Structure 1
Amino acid sequence: MEKYGNNNGDSGISGFEIGNNFIHVEFSTGSIYEYTYSSAGESNIKTMINLARSGSGLNSFINTHVKNKYSRKIR
């Protein structure tokens, strides 16, 4: 799991892992969710990957666009 940059210092996300067609997002609660092309849509996943790499805006994007579109809860 790669550490999320959290550039604004107020994110509920602590880490992420990127795969070919998915992103795993670890929240500060310790929960990890998997978002895939199938569950959330390819364009949303690509946006999430860009936001994760930039360290800003991922939590807001998830809450606004894909909150319940995860494929599974890993932890």
Structure 2
Amino acid sequence: MMKERMKVSLPPEVKKYIQSYMKEHHLSFTGDAISRICQEHEEAQKRKDESIKKIVKDVTQNIEDLF
């Protein structure tokens, strides 16, 4: 994976969150922590979307079964 250097400004609470995440997951680099946080967020969003699709499918099936 190609990496790109960036200079970012973060609010203090975000910086604290990233530092806590790094400590908890034994990470040495801020970029690695931010990458993992983003990846986890993306995976959680996919699971949420799949869950919603399943609920819609189940509800649709139940409605069709009633008719």
By percentage of residues, which structure has more helix? 2
Structure number with larger C-alpha Rg: 2
TM-score surpassing 0.5?
no
- Identify which of structures 1 and 2 has the higher relative contact order when contacts are C-alpha pairs closer than 8 Å and 6+ apart: 1
Q: TM-score of the superposition, structure 2-length normalised?
A: 0.32
